[in-house]
Structure 1
Amino acid sequence: MRYQSVALAFIASCLLSVAAVAQDGSKMKFGKVDPAEFNLSFDKDTGAHAILISEIGSSSFETTKGDLGVVFRVHRRYKVVDKAGFEYGEVSISLDKVGRDMEEVSKIKAASYNMENGKMVTSTLDSKDIFTEKVDDMGEIKKFAIPGVKVGSIIEYSYTITYPYWHLIPAWKFQHSIPTLWSEYTVGIPEFTRFMRVGQGYIDFEVNSKRDYRASYNFRYEPQGGAGASQNYTMTANVTEFRLGARNVMPIRPESFITSVNNYVAQIKFQLAATNFDGVEKAYSNTWPKLMEELNKNQEFGAAMEKNNNFMDNTTNDIIKGATTDEEKARRIFNWVKSNVVCTDDRALGTTQKLKTTLTSKKGAVSDINLLLVGLLRRANLNAYPVILSTRDHGYVSFYPLLSSFNYVIAVVEIDGQQVKLDASHPLLGFNKLMPETYNGDARVVDGIGTAISISADSLREIAITTISMERNAEGAFVGKFQKRPTYLQSYNIRNTIKDKKLEGYKESLQKAFGEEIEISNATVADLDSLDASVMVDYDFKMNNAGNDDILYIKPMMGEEYKHNIFKSEERKFPVEMNAVMDEIYTLNLAIPEGYVVDELPKSSMVKFNDDEGFFQYLIQDVGGRIQMRSRIKFNKATFLPEDYASLREFYDVVVKKQAEQIVLKKKA
């Protein structure tokens, strides 16, 4: 199970030895540094650039500027182990504008501590060294660099963020890319609100407690469930304070073939479920149908596709004129949008501008383009909906209806009883094709109920077929023909390369990859404009330095082999998540030169992975003066459990060794 309630026990982390002074990070006070902290180490990760000695965070509901808000307090202390750890002395705090009000940061303090001649020297941050970087009209970043940071320094900082709203409680991560000796988060939730707590990760909590107390609040609200006018309101309420603390947390870092460490990092998130004022309860998106209803009514999402649609009607009619089938209509609209509207690469769930502006300016964010696509498809009387999903780098979607789980929008249209998925933000992407980063599991159709659909890597089948024929010419060099039908995703990259560097640039990259060992000529790339299919790469080649006249050494894989194991780590705690279900086929037909015989030939081999989950096939034979070889690596799924890792690594060890074997020919005696 990917997500767990914080009330459940998490899998135990590794223990370590540190100085006793660091064992109670919960008592950390700003400026009170024990000299023993300079001697801290982390035996389980000696390569860490820094150690997070302690971090303490809290969120509470408080009256600010005459209204209710959430106040978020943070205090962190690190030991800098080497120069790469200096980055932890450079702090950025992101702030967003919500409505008319900007989130505010205050009470920024920072200092470094160094032992010099047996004495502790303190360098403190001056307020004039705190800078503001404006991102856009809706956000800014506060930045500062802690002075006096050196190898061996203890550094710390603290700040307070005031959020001018109370519907959101900041999330908290207990795990980072460096060792964490103590991480603690306290949240006080008043009884007139109810939040869902979504926990994730594989650590034990040393502290998992709660206590109740009373607090007074003064704020504005709408009585009778929103039917009355906004009024000032004062109340005293019970508050439940939750406290979570974790000790000696192992670091978590990106690994190859993993969607995102965010899927596995120990953290807790909060989602407003309901409020209750004067006995009137109001639910907030705590079911998928409720969330879909809000999205469809939102002026920046569903309502944007339904409002002032005359411009859509006229455009749609021009595009589909003469089309006779639903598929032809959908293809025309899809091709028109991706060919005429340029993507600014901005990601958002809702529109960043009016759809009419997107249409007239011919540019927009991913959401602008794909919501426009849905709107045009609907004007053609096609059954089309937006689909919200989370890209692989953003993490998995929670099984709770959390809008923050999503960061990307595509379109889906029903054609002949089949769901066709479309993304018009990539001009070289074909019909019913998606980018690999969108294959991340659960997604939701923004219809009346939030229909769940799966867009997983296990459903994406990718096949690559390479064929080589080769013989020795009169000058004694091996020459031949190379043909490859790459996977669709590889073809997409080739199309982009040729778009940017032209065909000649792509040819140069091919030659550069081979170096001086192989010369290529007459290179062509077919099916470049057939965006629903893979391209065909075709070229002639000449192999240099095959050996002397007496003995010839042939590398049968022609650079297509796995040169090293793609799984380097000896151990792995997380699943292996490949981009797609792969099938790689390679064949060679080599004419044995006249006057030569086979001296050494690799042996045929067949290796299965977990019986029926994959195989590596290597077949080779000498038939009638020709050597015929076939290599195939085929899997039946893209995602493998951590316990499969050792076997998967051994599997690729066999592949690397086998594909590196050479064919040896010698002159007849």
Structure 2
Amino acid sequence: MKIKHLLPLIVLFSFAQNYLIAQDKLNIKFGKITPADFDLSKQKYDTGAAAVIIADIGSSEFDGNNDGWFSLDYKRHTRIKIINKNGMDAANVEIPLYFSGQREEKVQNIKAVTYTLEGGKVIETELDKKSIFKDKYDKNYMKVKFTLPGVKEGCIIEYSYNLVSDFLQNLQPWEFQGDYPVLWSQYEVKMPEFFNYVFLSQGHFPLEHSVETSRSAYNISRSNTAGSTSHTSLSASVAWHKWIARNVPVLKEESFTSSIHNHISKVEFQLSQYRFPEQPVEDIMGTWSKLATLLMKNEDFGASLTKSNNWLDDELKPITQGVSDKLEKTRKIYAYVRDRFTCTGKRGILLSASLKTTDKNKNGYVADINILLAAMLRHEDIDAYPVLLSTRGHGYTNEIYPLVNRFNYVICGVTINDKTYTLDATDPSLGFNRLADECYNGHARAIFPDIAQAVYFNPDSLNEKKLVTVFIRSNKPGEWAGHFTSNMGYYESLNTRSKIKDKGEETFFKNIQTSYTGEMELADKKIENLKELDQTIKVEYDFTMKQDEDIIYFSPMMNEGYKENYFKAAERSYPVEMPYVFDETYIFNFDIPADYTVEDLPKSTKVNFGEADGFFEYIIDKTPEAIRLRSRLKLNRSYYEPEEYNDLREFFSYVVKKHAEPIVLKKKK
């Protein structure tokens, strides 16, 4: 994955605002709403929006606390106009809070009001404090939830709160884009020189970023065991960062997007170092090597892999008995775990239970099952290790900084005779050394006791090849007979296995039959390699179709042509991210019926995409007795920059248009 894909385009710009906005300041105060504020007709936003965020303003600063350390004070103030009923979800507010042991983040001073305009007057409905709830999300997070009262179309809602945190690693991030257009989004961070944070920015919408410096005093106190309190005052240079985004559009998810959250404009922060006067710099973030060491010593991750795990002796003996080849042993153990264990979900990279418990229950989350697989392989003296990755929907990892929260998935890596294999035993449909396409999301890390080795799962390494052949002849007057064969790619094969598992083969072929227009009957239906999970599927069937019109408009692509363009939007501000490259070939052989002549025929063509990025060819040939067609669509890259979008859109538009062209037959008189 190219690092530049993760970096933002930061541009300083400004323009006039109509909504109470000065040059670089939004003059907005909680509760100060006038009838004029309900009129957004002069604002720039998508008029089809269900809600509009008028202002979203946040700030974070550091305060000295009474525990001899620092706290983070985060404030947020949000004002939204609900345009129609589809925007009412904006009134549901969730505030995540982190906790560890007896310490937890605290939310304070929650205020929430709904404003409606009735008879030219602004009517306020305040949130009842009894309507604020707190739910535990997982072992480290809870959520404070509330819904603003009396919400209806045309109202304005407003809420604010403070969040106080003693966890300095949790300097709040800020998203400038979301589900609704934003007129003004602003975030300020006042950062003392004692703390060094790495700034992680992303997105394509330009932000205004300014920095001012000043000095500030931080008063810290601590109570000692004797009952007295010590006080310390520290003076520091403070960097005051301010980000502003104006008239931010909604980033709509289009086809071939890994995750829209990879592309929204936002800033995040990772605590890197402590830098106190007259003290050595203390590294907080660490290195990839340190992360690997910590993970492999963690009982909830890799500690069990370094143990003998003799409790596996009796279970593995019948599986590996008589097998000395390590690769064959690996295949057998992988198949055993894949076919006998049930995955109950993802849940992150840490174990939810001991390996022994997972083995006993024969179920667990992704990390439980794949780390158990690694333990079984290591028990048999096979070089197996966990590999951390982030699935496409979870977002990109960071190749430079060891940010473990960017990973959400664990697979098992194996090295035998200098060859590497990657295994995921949580999907019963996956073959050996195969991963789901969602795992191909670029940078990942193989975890060893003292090193986290960078590995890459690039979609460009997946080539989805497909070959379809169709033969048609005139069986008798008014009836055509043919044979259809589809040699699928691996991921289409996965999808087909899933469909057949859910609905059965009969429904699978019935859906094929009903997808054709006109009278079509299928016979001698076959599916090869359905249960051979390492192999791709081959589908075959004979068919007959009624064709007796005087003029026949017939699509030579049958049902295999592209019927619509994946890329419908007129423009796109973020990359196209296909799950793999592909090479699709379609071969059509048609014996012209003796009682028909060919009235019209599509023309041959070949179109290149870029210099060597792919091509589309449509080669058709006619003899007095037959028509032969070969259509081939090949793309050699899976990733396309926004600047390439229009070319890609036009390329697929041409393919759709060409695949729709019919052969026209006219009955002889």
Larger displacement relative to structure 2 (394-403 or 342-351): 394-403
Q: Is the 8 A contact 1:3 1:198 kept in 2?
A: no
Does residue 217 (structure 1) correspond to residue 215 (structure 2)? The answer is no
Whole-Å separation in 2 of the counterparts to 1:653 and 1:624: 32
Whole-Å separation in 1 of the counterparts to 2:197 and 2:70: 16
AA of the residue aligned to 1:408: Y
Larger displacement relative to structure 2 (460-469 or 312-321): 312-321
Q: Is the 8 A contact 1:172 1:268 kept in 2?
A: yes
Query: Counterpart of 2:169 in 1: which secondary structure?
Result: coil
Aligned ranges 1:89-238 → 2 under 5 Å: 89-135=91-137, 138-211=140-213, 212-218=215-221, 235-237=232-234, 238=236
Residues 273-319 of structure 1 deviation map (CA, whole Å, 9 limit, x = unaligned): 23357725432333222222222222211213224622245444443
Whole-Å separation in 2 of the counterparts to 1:127 and 1:205: 36
Aligned ranges 1:65-464 → 2 under 5 Å: 66=67, 69-135=71-137, 138-211=140-213, 212-218=215-221, 235-237=232-234, 238=236, 240-248=238-246, 249-275=248-274, 279-307=279-307, 309-398=309-398, 399-447=400-448, 448-464=450-466
Query: Counterpart of 1:473 in 2: which secondary structure?
Result: strand
Aligned ranges 1:455-494 → 2 under 5 Å: 455-474=457-476, 476-494=478-496
Q: Is the 8 A contact 1:111 1:124 kept in 2?
A: yes
Whole-Å separation in 1 of the counterparts to 2:451 and 2:177: 35
CA distance 1:220–1:444, change in 2 (3 Å): farther
CA drift of 1:363 comes to 0.7
Aligned ranges 1:5-84 → 2 under 5 Å: 10-11=10-11, 18-21=18-21, 26-41=26-41, 42-62=43-63, 66=67, 69-84=71-86
Residues 220-268 of structure 1 deviation map (CA, whole Å, 9 limit, x = unaligned): 99xxxxxxxxx99864333635332213133322121121222222211
Q: Which runs of 5+ in 2 are unaligned?
A: none
AA of the residue aligned to 1:490: E
Q: Is the 8 A contact 1:312 1:375 kept in 2?
A: no
Percent identical residues? 39
CA drift of 1:84 comes to 1.6
Query: Counterpart of 1:176 in 2: which secondary structure?
Result: coil
CA drift of 1:511 comes to 3.1
Q: Is the 8 A contact 1:24 1:182 kept in 2?
A: no
Does residue 571 (structure 1) correspond to residue 575 (structure 2)? The answer is no
AA of the residue aligned to 1:509: N
CA drift of 1:489 comes to 0.8
Whole-Å separation in 2 of the counterparts to 1:220 and 1:204: 47
AA of the residue aligned to 2:78: R
AA of the residue aligned to 2:175: K
Query: Counterpart of 1:542 in 2: which secondary structure?
Result: strand
AA of the residue aligned to 2:628: Q
- TM-score under structure 1 normalisation? 0.91
CA distance 1:206–1:644, change in 2 (3 Å): closer
Q: Is the 8 A contact 2:11 2:208 kept in 1?
A: no
CA drift of 1:430 comes to 0.9
CA distance 1:192–1:45, change in 2 (3 Å): same
CA distance 1:601–1:170, change in 2 (3 Å): same
Query: Counterpart of 2:218 in 1: which secondary structure?
Result: strand
Whole-Å separation in 2 of the counterparts to 1:125 and 1:589: 71
The equivalent of 2:642 in structure 1 is 642
Select which of 481, 501, 509 maps to 1:507: 509
AA of the residue aligned to 1:242: W
CA distance 1:343–1:247, change in 2 (3 Å): same
Q: Is the 8 A contact 1:620 1:628 kept in 2?
A: yes
Whole-Å separation in 2 of the counterparts to 1:372 and 1:478: 56
RMSD: 2.8
Whole-Å separation in 1 of the counterparts to 2:153 and 2:417: 65
Whole-Å separation in 1 of the counterparts to 2:16 and 2:592: 62
Q: Is the 8 A contact 2:75 2:160 kept in 1?
A: yes
CA drift of 1:24 comes to 6.1
Q: Is the 8 A contact 1:21 1:36 kept in 2?
A: no
Query: Counterpart of 2:386 in 1: which secondary structure?
Result: strand
Residues 61-94 of structure 1 deviation map (CA, whole Å, 9 limit, x = unaligned): 4467847543432211112222222111121223
AA of the residue aligned to 1:310: N
CA distance 1:121–1:625, change in 2 (3 Å): same
The equivalent of 2:622 in structure 1 is 622
Larger displacement relative to structure 2 (475-484 or 529-538): 475-484
Whole-Å separation in 2 of the counterparts to 1:350 and 1:276: 31
CA drift of 1:588 comes to 1.1
Larger displacement relative to structure 2 (41-50 or 82-91): 41-50
Whole-Å separation in 2 of the counterparts to 1:377 and 1:188: 51
Whole-Å separation in 1 of the counterparts to 2:582 and 2:306: 41
Aligned ranges 1:521-536 → 2 under 5 Å: 521-536=523-538
CA drift of 1:591 comes to 1.5
Query: Counterpart of 1:510 in 2: which secondary structure?
Result: helix
Query: Counterpart of 2:492 in 1: which secondary structure?
Result: helix
CA drift of 1:59 comes to 2.7
AA of the residue aligned to 1:437: E
Whole-Å separation in 2 of the counterparts to 1:597 and 1:579: 44
CA distance 1:314–1:185, change in 2 (3 Å): farther
Larger displacement relative to structure 2 (103-112 or 557-566): 103-112
Query: Counterpart of 1:558 in 2: which secondary structure?
Result: coil
CA drift of 1:583 comes to 0.6
Q: Is the 8 A contact 2:254 2:567 kept in 1?
A: no
AA of the residue aligned to 2:562: Y
AA of the residue aligned to 2:216: Y
Larger displacement relative to structure 2 (531-540 or 27-36): 27-36
AA of the residue aligned to 2:217: R
CA drift of 1:608 comes to 0.8
Larger displacement relative to structure 2 (564-573 or 279-288): 279-288
Whole-Å separation in 1 of the counterparts to 2:562 and 2:426: 33
Q: Is the 8 A contact 1:61 1:188 kept in 2?
A: yes
Q: Is the 8 A contact 2:12 2:208 kept in 1?
A: no
AA of the residue aligned to 2:490: Y
The alignment of Structure 1 onto Structure 2 pairs a total of residues equal to 657
CA drift of 1:615 comes to 0.7
Q: Is the 8 A contact 2:188 2:242 kept in 1?
A: yes
Larger displacement relative to structure 2 (296-305 or 130-139): 130-139
AA of the residue aligned to 2:284: Y
CA drift of 1:96 comes to 4.3
Q: Is the 8 A contact 1:22 1:53 kept in 2?
A: no
Residues 522-563 of structure 1 deviation map (CA, whole Å, 9 limit, x = unaligned): 33221011111211112222334x451x33332111111111
Whole-Å separation in 1 of the counterparts to 2:112 and 2:426: 43
Larger displacement relative to structure 2 (174-183 or 273-282): 273-282
CA distance 1:126–1:377, change in 2 (3 Å): same
Query: Counterpart of 1:75 in 2: which secondary structure?
Result: strand
Whole-Å separation in 1 of the counterparts to 2:660 and 2:606: 16
Whole-Å separation in 1 of the counterparts to 2:313 and 2:284: 35
